[in-house]
Structure 1
Amino acid sequence: MLQDPLFIIAAIACFAVLVVLMIGIGGFARGGDFNRKYANKLMRMRLAAQFIAVILILVFVLFSGGR
């Protein structure tokens, strides 16, 4: 499974979701100007990254065929 390029791409997409989520939580915790300026933008980026990650996971499961 670790040699499958689609699995690696899906794992990278999941990691990207985690990074965007952590930046958003950190900005929310600190508050201030950064949170006011970027909170909604980070939420939209997280949702887009999650959508892509879920699609990649589904495609991986579809093509792996229960290997």
Structure 2
Amino acid sequence: MLDDPLFIVAAIAVLAVAGILIFGIGVFAKGGEYNRKHANKIMRWRIGAQFVAVLLILLFVFIRRQTGG
């Protein structure tokens, strides 16, 4: 699996979602003006990245089932 480029891209997308989530939790926990200004934008970025990650995972599973690998 590690030699499949689509798997690597999907894994990077999942890590990006985790990074955005951790950043958002940190901003939320700290509070303050930055949180008030940017919390919704960070959440939208996470949702968009999560959407892309899920699509990549589904594409990977679909291709693996088609090729029998």
Which TM class, normalised by the smaller chain length?
Answer: over 0.9
User: What secondary structure, in the 3-state scheme, does the structure 2 residue paired with 1:2 have?
Assistant: coil
TM-score by length of 1: 0.97
TM-score by length of 2: 0.94
Give the number of equivalent residue pairs: 67
The percent identity for this pair of structures is 61
Q: How far apart are the structure 2 equivalents of 1:40 and 1:3?
A: 37
What is the CA distance between 1:40 and its match in structure 2? 0.1
> Could you tell me which amino acid in structure 2 is paired with residue 2 of structure 1?
L
- Please list every run of at least 4 consecutive aligned residues from structure 1 whose deviation after the TM superposition is greater than 2 angstroms: none
Q: Which runs of 5+ in 2 are unaligned?
A: none
Q: Over residues 34-64 of structure 1, what are the superposed CA-to-partner deviations in whole Å (9 max), with x where a residue is unaligned?
A: 1011100000000000000000000000001
